[in-house]
């Protein structure tokens, strides 16, 4: 004799598994973000509190320079309490983007890049700027 509760439980688990398989099978795979390489340079180096220039180079494998991107920049200190700094990098030559950046104080910073490619695809990158020195 089988227990009705265990049969109902098995049925519910079976439906949940089928639903999970269907949901993952129907999802659109995301384009690999690793296909775009972002190199950065900050001047002056070592970075000091105050004004700096951030230069970014976007490359896309065999495509070479990635042009026509929009890059929003967010600079955050690694400790709480400081307001982030925002900026926008402008394309200065094919695949090269530049933005002024202000490090409001000495310490460690995290730079977040919110990149929208010319075809509308979005990606994000981040890198650390450690040991920004006082003026």
CATH of the domain at 40: 2.60.40.10
Q: Is residue 74 part of a domain?
A: yes
pLDDT at 48: 94
**Domain range enclosing 56:** 33-132
Q: Is residue 111 part of a domain?
A: yes
pLDDT beneath 70, residues of the chain: 1-34
Place of tokens 């709480």: 80
CA atoms within 13 A on the CB side of 76: 10
pLDDT at 3: 58
pLDDT at 13: 52
pLDDT at 83: 87
Q: Is residue 116 part of a domain?
A: yes
pLDDT at 5: 57
pLDDT at 19: 52
pLDDT at 27: 47
pLDDT at 9: 53
Q: Is residue 6 part of a domain?
A: no
pLDDT at 2: 55
Q: Is residue 109 part of a domain?
A: yes
Q: How many separate domains does the chain show? A: 1
């Amino acid at each position: 004799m089988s227990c009705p509760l265990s049969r109902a439980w098995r049925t519910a688990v079976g439906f949940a598994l089928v639903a999970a398989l269907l949901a993952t099978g129907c999802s659109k795979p995301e384009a690999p973000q690793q296909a775009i390489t972002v190199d950065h340079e900050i001047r002056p180096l070592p970075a000091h509190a105050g004004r700096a220039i951030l230069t970014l180079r976007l490359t896309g494998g065999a495509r070479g320079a990635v042009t026509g991107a929009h890059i929003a920049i967010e600079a955050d200190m690694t400790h709480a309490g400081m307001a982030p700094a925002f900026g926008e990098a402008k394309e200065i030559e094919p695949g090269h983007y530049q933005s002024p950046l202000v490090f409001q104080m000495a310490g460690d910073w995290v730079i977040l890049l919110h990149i929208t490619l010319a075809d509308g695809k979005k990606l994000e990158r981040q890198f650390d700027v450690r040991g920004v020195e006082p003026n």
